[in-house]
Each structure stands twice: as C-alpha cells, then as structure tokens.
Amino acid sequence: MTHIESTFSVLGLNSFLIQSLSEMGYVKPSPIQKTCIPLLLQGRDVLGMAQTGSGKTAAFALPLLHNLNIHLKAPQILVLAPTRELAVQVAEAFSDFSKYIIGINVLPLYGGQRYDLQLRALRQGPQIVVGTPGRLLDHLKRGTLNLSNLHSLVLDEADEMLRMGFIEDVETIMTKIPKTHQTALFSATMPEAIRRISKRFMNNPEEIKIQSNITTRPDIKQSYWMVYGRKTDALIRFLEVEDFSATIIFVKTKNATLEVSEALEKNGYNSAALNGDMNQALREQTLERLKNGRLDILIATDVAARGLDVDRISFVINYDIPMDSESYVHRIGRTGRAGRAGRALLFVENRERRLLRNIEYTVKQSIPEVQLPNIELLCKRRLEKFAKKVQEQLESRDLDEYSALLDKLYSSDDLDIKTLAAALLKMAQGERPLIIKKDLIKRPSRDILLKNDRRYEDKRNNHRLRREFREQKDIDLYRIEVGRNDGVEVRHIVGAIANEGNIHSRHIGNIKLFSSYSIIELPKGNSKDLLQKFSRTRILNKLINIKLLRDARNYDSKTSNRAILNRDKNNNRFISEHNSNKIHLSKKNESKSSFIRRKNI
C-alpha cells in the first residue's frame, strides 16, 4: 500500500478516487481536506472559511463524487463559481478526479458559450454542473436546467460572488432547488451577507476555519510569465538567457515530461525526464548524473520529484502551474539549497490567473511579472556564450595546426582576413543564429483589457485606478437593448459584460439606464468577434443586441456639455447633441434618468 492510500483512503474515499489522486500527485490531505471530506461524506452541510489555494476544490469534489449515483443521468451536483475561469477549473478538477469512474459527465455552464451547444450537452444528462450565476439562472428561467434530482450544492468563493454583485442571483438559484439537499459554502472571508445566506439556506452547518502557515524562503527570487505562443519555444528562450547550474522543470503529466525533454534535446540541451514509469535503478542513475554535473536539466512531475534534494539546482521552472499553492511552495523549495540563492519562474496561462493569486496569497507576497526575453537580449547572451567558447579555444595549445589550415584557406590576396573570420563565424553559429532579424514569438494583440488583470487587483489602489480609467477616455460608447422596463439593474449588465466578454468589472465604465435601453462605456477597440458574441448575450433572458455608438474620447461626465444620446423618432437613428444646453428626451421618464456611476462591486 502506498503512502497516498494510507492517508486519503483513511478518509473513506473509494479506490477509483485514490487511483486518480495518486496519479495527479496528491501526497497527503491538506488541513481543509482532512476536515471537510469526512463531513461531506456523511451528508453534513459545511461552511468553510479557508484562504485560497488551500485545496478546497478537492475537499468538496472528492466526497461528492464518492456519493454520486453514476446510473442516474441527471444533475446531482451543482457548483456555483464567480467567473468562467474558476468554473472551467473546477469542472476540470471533477473530471480529473473521476477519470477512473466510468459514466460520469461533467458540464461547465458560463457566459460566452453558444446556447445550442449547452442545450445539447444538458440533454445528455450531466451529473455534475459547474457554472456562473448569470448563465445558470438563465437556464433555470428557460426551463432547460432541471435540478429536481439535485442532492449537493457548492458555493465556491462566495465572497467573490458578493463582490461582483451576483449574490442576489445566487439566492434566487438557491430558492429553485430541492429543499432536501446538502450545501457546502466556501469563502476566504465571511461578510454579513454570506453569513445571512448560510443561516437562511444551510442546515446546521459545521463551520470550519483553516489558516495556512506556509511561507517561502526570502532567498528564492520568484517571478511569473504570462503565456502566449508555444510554451516550449518560450521555455528554450528563458533557458538561453538564464544563468543556472542545474534546473528542474515541473510539469503535470508523465507524457509532458517526455514531450518537453524531447523538445529540449532537439534544441541541443542535455536533459532527462523523471516520471513514475521509471524503475528505481534508472531513477537513481538520472539523479546521480544531475548531482555530478553530467546532466543540467530535469523535467519532472510532482510525484517523481518527491524527496529530490540536489544542491546544484539553482533554477526551478513551473512549466505547468500547480493546482494548489502548497505544491508550488514545495516545488520552488528545491532551489536555493546549501546557502545558495535560488530562482523560480512560473508559467501562467490567462485562464490560470486565479491560481496565481492563490499562490501569492499563500506565500504572502506579490510575485512580479517578467516579459519574454526579446531578440536583443537573446542575441547578446548568445554572443557572450560564443565569445566565451572562442576564448577557451584561444587558450588551447593546438592552434598552430589550425593556423596552417587557415593559410590554405587564405590563399587569395584579395580575401580579407576579417571577411574570412566573419564567414567562419556564420558557419560556427550552428542552430542558434547570433543575428536574429525577426522575433517569431509574437505577443498577441489585446482587444480588451483582460479580466483579472493583475495591475488592477490591488484593492488599495482600486479607486485611483478607476479614476485613471475615466480620465484617459480611451473608451467607446455602446447601446444595449435592455432597460428599466425589462427589470434590468446595473449589476446585471456588469455581470453579463464581465463574464461574456472576459472584461474585468473594474474596466467597465459608466452605465446609463433608460426605460427600454441602456448606454455603457467599454474599453476602446473591441474586436468584431467580441461584439458579435455580445450581440448573442442575454440579460434576464433578453438579447442585448449591442451596438457601437461613437468614440467617447471627448466624453466629459462632469459637465453639462456631455453628449446626450437620443433616439430620432422619425428614422430610428441615434444622434449626438454636443455642447447643447437644451436636452430633449423622447420619454418623460427618460428625462428624469440620471447618469449612474456604477459602484465598485
């Protein structure tokens, strides 16, 4: 019996889940997993207050999967998440944990997906549904999501849903599910609104509060890179410019160790894979090569690297971000040994920003972002390494023989020695050119300021940053065909735009509500694809049909000269009246409409 079985199986989980956990690298239960899993297995309600990155996804997913009826093809578990990124992440975790259980279907539901695809998936009878409040509520109102067989409800990151203005939608959803169900609510903080929900909807919940004491050593320099392009190309570039004695590259799967190792070998790097399929003799041989300097790069999974202690390792690359923060701390702890300074780099996909924030919360420090080394730096480092090799050859004792060969080459009187040296230099550069004229790794264009942009995550600077957004006026005005008569509130618009367009709520400007339509400020330069997606977006089950009105660069929200948008009754066109002191609106209630400055939610 392995160590993993002697810990997780004690909690009462079945062998299929234990097998998945072992393959995924879970070594032992975290404090919240030890506490929550037995309670949820018993059917108890749980109110968990734990900081992000504590392993709470496994804490609720594992026991709920254990109790699932795989023969019933209907939603039995519903998980509410504040964002599409978290919804996808949680759905993937359910799928990973249940990979050895035949017959389980997991479905993420969130804004931005086509309704017909979601309806087709719902007809297949998924047992587990993970979604954002807005899209789930839409399906409930349409009657396309049947929760009559639901027995377990999870509210993940409830305080984040409160901050984003979704808490009323959450309460509405909770009134539409069977009363006899199990509820698990997880929140990093416990504001009064969340406490009120627990009292109203939960049945004598067991309250759990977990504190993490994990810290990292200050001698490890940490940074992250936001992934774009091919990760292997970027990995090679970072390795080229970084000075290291030995490095370990962490990946998620056994196959990834082989794929990355093969890519590095093709580019001339002496590397080796370390995974669970290796026998003990080969493992020991590989580690011995790493220790004595015959191997410089090791690609490993968390499980395979267990117990690895090599003083030469000065650089750790998290090629795949770990699902929990504790694994990250253990990974980077492999560097900076024996009094040496260490360096750790984390690759972060756009959809993994939340995991990055979880890690920062756990290690109690902000991790700075680094840019991909540009071609200027790359050429400089290649030239430095080449010059070092040349210097080593200049110090060798057999140059006379090669000088004789040079005389044979340098037979023409009109051949300049410098030209000959340049030709030899060009030949000697091999697969790594010393002159790069075009950077093949392109940073993608950004249609919008991405949701969860870390520059806007510091709450202490929130008001200042929102003011800067308003002042820069790099925004456009849009009209959407929902208004007060449809029962729409500002929070509904914010939630729909944020989730459908992957725009952070802080980057949504002012919103003006009229009786039958609304005006909204969004970052300038949104793509046609994004606008088409918005046109298919529904708020309270009504298409918003978004349309661009005009450039709002000169739009001044604080003066009477602000352009007032009006509908022309005769030809159904929109007109802008600039610098007008006489404002005529088509309807009496619209004339009383005030420009609403949205609160930070």
Query: In the numeric block, which tokens belong to residue 48?
Result: 């968990």
Residue with the two structure tokens 């017909």: 116
| Confidence (pLDDT) at 62 | 95
H helices then E strands: how many in the chain? 22, 21
In the predicted model, is pLDDT for residue 534 greater than 50? yes
In the predicted model, is pLDDT for residue 118 greater than 80? yes
Beta-ladder partners of 564: 577
pLDDT band with cut points at 50, 70 and 90 for residue 190: confident
Q: What is the pLDDT of residues 547-557, one digit of tens each?
A: 888 654 444 44
Q: What is the mean pLDDT of residues 236-246?
A: 87
In the predicted model, is pLDDT for residue 409 greater than 80? no
Helix (H, G, I), strand (E, B) or coil at 339: coil
Would you state the CATH architecture of domain 459-591?
A: 2-Layer Sandwich (3.30)
Whether pTM exceeds 0.85: no
Most confident residue range from 155-169, 409-423, 450-464: 155-169
Q: What is the mean pLDDT of residues 153-176?
A: 88
| Confidence (pLDDT) at 327 | 81
Task: List the CATH code of the domain at 220-373.
Answer: 3.40.50.300
| Confidence (pLDDT) at 443 | 59
In the predicted model, is pLDDT for residue 524 greater than 70? yes
- Whole-number average pLDDT of the chain: 78
Q: What is the mean pLDDT of residues 209-229?
A: 77
Q: Determine contact, residues 61/106, Cβ cutoff 8 Å.
A: no
Query: The domain 3-210 is classified under which CATH number: 3.40.640.10, 3.90.320.10, 2.130.10.10, 3.40.50.300?
Result: 3.40.50.300
Closest among 495, 500, 489 to 532, alpha carbons compared: 500
In the predicted model, is pLDDT for residue 436 greater than 80? no
Q: Which residue has the higher pLDDT, 336 or 590?
A: 336
pLDDT band with cut points at 50, 70 and 90 for residue 94: very high
Q: What is the pLDDT of residues 258-269, one digit of tens each?
A: 999 998 988 888
> Could you tell me the maximum CA-CA distance found in the chain, to the nearest angstrom?
98
Query: What string of DSSP letters covers 510-556?
Result: -EEE-SS-EEEEEES---HHHHHHHHT-EETTEE---EEEEE-TT--
What phi and psi, each to the nearest 5 degrees, are found at residue 241?
-95, -10
Distance of CA 25 to CAs 59, 250, 255, 258, 301, Å? 15, 12, 14, 17, 8
Q: What is the pLDDT of residues 444-479, one digit of tens each?
A: 544 443 444 433 333 333 443 344 444 444 678 889
In the predicted model, is pLDDT for residue 125 greater than 90? yes
Q: Which residue has the higher pLDDT, 590 or 356?
A: 356
CB atoms within 10 A of CB 277: 12
Q: Indicate the angle between helix axes 325-332 and 353-363, nearest 10 degrees.
A: 70
Q: What is the pLDDT of residues 331-377, one digit of tens each?
A: 898 887 655 678 999 999 887 888 898 888 888 889 999 988 887 77
Q: Which residue has the higher pLDDT, 372 or 572?
A: 372
| Confidence (pLDDT) at 531 | 81
**Any idea where the domains of the chain sit in the sequence?**
3-210, 220-373, 376-428, 459-591
Q: Nearest 10 degrees: CA dihedral of 459, 465, 470, 471? A: 160
Q: What is the mean pLDDT of residues 292-308?
A: 84
Q: What is the mean pLDDT of residues 419-427?
A: 72
CB atoms within 10 A of CB 416: 10
Closest among 219, 224, 213 to 337, alpha carbons compared: 219
In the predicted model, is pLDDT for residue 167 greater than 50? yes
Q: Determine contact, residues 17/65, Cβ cutoff 8 Å.
A: yes
Q: Indicate the angle between helix axes 133-142 and 115-123, nearest 10 degrees.
A: 70
Beta-ladder partners of 271: 297
Closest among 331, 309, 335, 334 to 322, alpha carbons compared: 331
CB atoms within 10 A of CB 303: 17
Burial 227-266 (b: 16+ CB within 10 A, else e): beeebbebbbbbbbeeebebbbbbbbebebbeebbebbee
| Confidence (pLDDT) at 514 | 87
Same fold, 3-210 and 459-591: no
Amino acid at site 483:
G
How many residues are recorded in the chain? 601
| Confidence (pLDDT) at 61 | 96
Distance of CA 273 to CAs 236, 283, 327, 480, Å? 16, 9, 19, 54
Residue with the two structure tokens 């939603």: 75
| Burial of 206 from C-beta contacts in 10 A (0-12 / 13-18 / 19+) | middle
| Confidence (pLDDT) at 149 | 94
Q: What is the mean pLDDT of residues 247-275?
A: 89
Query: In the numeric block, which tokens belong to residue 59?
Result: 């804490």
Beta-ladder partners of 297: 247, 271
Query: In the numeric block, which tokens belong to residue 188?
Result: 């990093």
